[in-house]
Structures are given as structure tokens and as C-alpha cells.
Amino acid sequence: MRTVFGYVLIILLIPVSVLTFYYANAEAEKVQNFDDYVEERIIIKEVDLPQASKITDKNGSTYVELYQPNRIVVDGGKIPSFLKELFLQSEDKHFYDHSGIDAAAVMRAFLVNAQSDEIEQGASTITQQVARNIYLTQDRTLARKISEILYSYQIEKKLEKEDILNLYLNVIYFNHQVYGVEAAAQYYFQQPVDTLSKAQMAFIAAIPNNPSLYDPVKRFDNTKKRQERLIDIMAREEFITPEEAEQIKNETITLKVRPRLDLYPDYSTYVMDELKNLIAETEGYDQQLINAEGDARDAIQEKLNARVSAVLASGVVINTALDPAMQQKAVDAVNNVLAGSSVQGSAAVVGNQSHDIVALSGGREFNRGFNRAFQAYRQPGSTIKPLLDYGPFMDTYGAGPNYLVSADKFCYQGDCPSNYSGAEYGMVTLNEALTKSHNTAAARLYVRTGMERSFTYLDKFDFDRVIQSDRVNLSASLGGFEYGVTALEMAGAYSSFVDGTFTKPHAIKNVTDLQGNVLYQWKEQPIRVWSTATTMNMRGMLTSVVKNGTGKKANFSAPYIGGKTGTTNNYRDLWFVGLTEGYTAAVWTGKDQYESKYDNIRYMESYAPHQLIWRRIMR
């Protein structure tokens, strides 16, 4: 009864609205005509429909679909004429005859629906539905209905009929956040729309009339019944023969619903963070943020977030360097080595030639949220020594692996670090000092080079949270930083031991539109860090660490292998960072938070999970 009353009300309101505008127009004509009046107030802008974006791996395969919403805009020429006619016959039979409003259709829908238990035929024209879905809301109010009529009037003036129909077929809703016929075909049948059978076309055409009632997943029988009614309409209107109609209705409909692709969350969560940084750098938001404070900074951040959302809604392809096989190895290694423990971990792997991030583990059993690979800042322990102590000293003085340094007691400005065992080792070579990770030798080299000069090397790696107070403390030479570093930062820094240069690693290779035009791309250039001699000497010393020193559990047979262990005070962080011919990787293990000052993971030290994880990834 409510539906009948609603249609009666609409029937009465349309002529009232028309008359109202007619008499209002008569008065307004003294100033301007009706067309000019509407033209000023109803502006039909060019439409860029929001559509899905995706993230691809190094092979071009999609591993994440970003629905904002799930729409794939398709050219009208690729939409089968049979499918178009299905919608025309069921939604707007006189589409090509009216000018956006079909008053007769309202009366016709009233009569048809009054004889049915459901809404069998819609009263809104296709043009009205385009107006509602693109320019207006779904509110059921008189004001919205009048606006819909005016917008439809303008749309018909501005666009060709075929353009209006194509817009409609790309905006209509098919439930499950699916919009448009192409996305519907791929969601329900995993086929492009132009490959669907007539039975499949009629099936998806049944959905938009009432997406909840005709939800194929939850109410398949309802959808099937409406599909058959649509086929009967097509037969009645002689678009198909009665025999063909029966054949189409008898075709078995098998849904092949494919959930949204969302693989490798450890990696994709970083990609989304990097995308924001890439857009910020490309479009100048990063500089604006540096120069702003307080509310002004918050406003810029909001603009940046809105810009990122707009880019994703435009339908882009984010091409990344993800190596699926290496990614799976990294995730499995962290999960399996730390299984059953309360210890967490993270890993980052960088390609030595490309300087791309090829794999990330955000933590044991990571499921979004806090991604330890790039968000966990931890003290690096002795893994900092090659970067801040040995490398700068050897590069400054031209020293080689056999240069002698004291590993006895050492104090500087009241700070007296000790070796791990507490023992003194006298004069040792740089190679032995690094291999055995003697703390006093590393501290001496740091002071000899000069703290300020040593940090000029470290600054080239762009560590995000190394601050001024770190630069004046002896503890920095042993990894004692105020905030610390991430696994990803360490992997990038150690990649400088490949050829002596550093290129900031990224996951995103480029961002293109759906036609392949490059929209965003990093423009990093390599920076020279180490001389050729220093690079070769450090590579040899890092190999000694793995073959003869503290990193033996990471060792395996390889053309080249080298790395460095790191343990922080009170045994709260265990690190291993190293490289092979193909990759550089950093692994951190520890706890996110410790319950007391006595809490630690010393019991894990002999097991060496950090080294075992690294070996499993790199082997």
C-alpha cells in the first residue's frame, strides 16, 4: 500500500512541479529564459568515475585490488548490444524518445507494479538514474526528486544518448561494492563483459533493480527468477525467439565469485605508506609539511590524504618490485623460526642491482597493523659498526683489514665501554676486531675518525630518527641511539657494500594510469659512500664475521656471503644484517615491549633466531 501511495504522490507531484517551474519561469522571463536560468544553476561537469586501482608485483601480476569502489570503466563499444537492450527494456523502454523525463513511464510503472508483489518496473528514466548516481544522493525526498528532474533535463542537453547509456552501464550498483557491468561480469563470473553468454548477461542485468533482493550470492533463486522475466521481456519484444528464450533460461548459471585480491599484507601495507610519500614528494606536500606547524600542518596533511584518495579513486596501477617467492620465504622464515615464542621479528630484503625492496616481513603472524619492518625503531647494536666505525675509519685513513687497533680497556669523556666477555685482547687487526665484535676497538676507531666525520658517512643513508644527541655520545659507536633504526633502513645501508654507493631503496617502481601513462616515479640517484678499496675490504671483513666469527649460524655455501650480528644492552634486540651476490637483508628479533627492566631475550641468544631467519631467507 505504501508503494502504491508513493507512486500516486509522484504522479501528482510531477505536474505540480512542472506547473510551478512554468509559472516561475513566466515571471523570470522578464530577466532571462528558463534554459538560461537552469544553465546557471545546474552545471554538468565532465565525469571521471571512481574506479578500482591495483598493485602489481615484479612480473606485472596483480596481488592487491584497491576498491574505491570496485568499478572498471568500459567503453560502450565493448558492451554487448544484447546487454544494453536488457536494461533499456526493463528500465527505460522509451529512452531514445524522451528528453530525460518520461511522465508516461510513471503511470505505466504504477499500473504494472500495482499488479505485482514487488517493484517490477522502475519509474525513473535511465537519465534520472545517471543524475542520481553521479550528481545527487539516494535520499527519497521531494527536493532531491525535483533536483533529479532538473539535472536530467541538463544531462540530455549536454550529452548524446549513447553517452548517457554508457555512463549508466558504468555507474549502476550490483551489490558487494561492485559498480558497472564490467566489474559485475568479472566479480560474478571472472569474465570480461563482452565474453558473457546471453544467460549470464540477463543474470547480472537482474541485480540492479534491487541489489539486496536480487543478490546472487545470498538470494540466487530470486536473481534467477528475475533473469527469466527479463528473458521473457526480450522474447515478447522480439529481440529473441521464444525457442531461444527457453534455451537461454535453461542454461545453467554457475557463479565464480572471486574475493578481492589482497595478498602479501607485510609488503602492501608498506607500499601504501610509500605511495603517500611519493605523492607528497612529487607534488610538493613534503616541503609544505616541513615549513608548517600546528593546525597549518594538520590542514596540509588532510589535503595530502585527500589527494592520495583521489589518485586511488582515479584507477591507477602501482607497479612494485615485490618478488613473490622471496616474500613468501621471508614471511615463512620469521613465522617458523619464532613459532611458539613470545618473541617478535621483522625482515627486509633489497635487490643488490636494482636497489628495490623485494620482500618484507612485518612480524610473526603479521596481519596488518604495526609493521615492524619499517615502523619499529630499535637500537641496532653492533650492526652499526661497519657503517659508523670501521667503514669511516678505513675510508678516511686508507687502512686495510690488517691494520692494528687495541682491544683493551678504553674510556672517552667518562664513558668506558667494555667487550662482550669483559676481557681485553690487546692489539688486534681490524678484521679480527670486527669478526669477534670487540667493542673497545670499534669505539677507538670512532673517536679516531672523529664523531662528526663518522656521522657524515651515516647521514648519507638517510636514517629517519637519528637525532643530534646521538652525534655526541660514544655509545652511538656501539649502536646506542636515542630512537634507533628499522630493519628496512639497515638493509638499505648495508647495500652500500655491494659497490660503494647508496641508492635509497623503494618498493614502488612507478605508478601509471590504466592506459600505462606514468604518473609518479621515484627519481633517486646513487650516492658515493665508500671508496672502491674500502668497499672491497669491508666485504672481506664481513665474510670473516660469517665464516669465523659471531655470524656462523647465518653461514651457507654461496659465491659471496657477509654480514654482521648485533646485540643491544640487556639482550633486548638481536640483529643480523648481511648480503650475498644477489640480495641484502636485515633481520631483527625482540619484543615490542618489555615488562620490566630485567626482562630480556638472552635465553634466545644461543638459538640465534636472527641468524636462522636470515639464512632461510637468503639461502
- C-alpha cell at position 546: 660469517
d(CA 285, CA 296): 12
Which among 107, 161, 158, 152 has a CA at the least distance from the CA of 131? 152
Task: Report d(CA 291, CA 607) in Å as an integer.
Answer: 48
The residues annotated with a catalytic role in the active site are 91, 382
What CA–CA distances, in Å, run from 467 to 471, 472, 482, 516?
A: 7, 10, 7, 41
Residues 6+ apart with CB under 8 A from 256: 188, 189, 190
Distance of CA 374 to the CA centre of its chain: 15
Grid coordinates standing for 125?
Answer: 528514466
3-state secondary structure 189-210: HCCCHHHCCHHHHHHHHCCCCC
Query: CA angle, corner 503, sides to 502 and 506, nearest 5?
Result: 140
Beta strands of 172-258 (E only): which ranges?
178-179
Which amino acid, residue 17?
Answer: S
Q: How far is CA 597 from CA 95, 144, 171, 365, 571, in A?
A: 76, 64, 59, 26, 11
State whether residue 481 is helix, strand or coil: coil
- Please choose, from the candidates 461, 435, 466, 440, the residue with its C-alpha nearest in 3D space to the C-alpha of residue 530: 461
Helices 220-236 and 198-205 cross at an angle (nearest 10°) of 110
Work out the number of other CB atoms within 10 angstroms of the CB of residue 60. 8
- Closest residue by Cα to residue 507 from 307, 269, 329: 269
Helix pair 103-114, 2-28: axis angle to 10 deg = 170
Nearest to 172 by CA among 134, 198, 122: 134
Burial (CB count within 10 angstroms: exposed 0-12, middle 13-18, buried 19+), residue 439 = buried
Q: Which three cell numbers stand for residue 610?
A: 636472527
CA neighbor of 590 nearest in space, from 378, 384, 420 = 378
Inter-residue contact 42 to 54 (CB < 8 Å): no
Residue type, 443: A
Q: Which element (helix H / strand E) includes 66?
A: strand 62-66
Q: Which amino acid is at 519?
A: L
Degrees, nearest 5: CA angle 138-139-145: 95
∠ CA 455-456-461, nearest 5°, is 85
Specify whether the CB–CB gap between 442 and 436 falls below 8 A. no
Residue in 307, 273, 321, 312 with CA at minimum distance from that of residue 63: 321
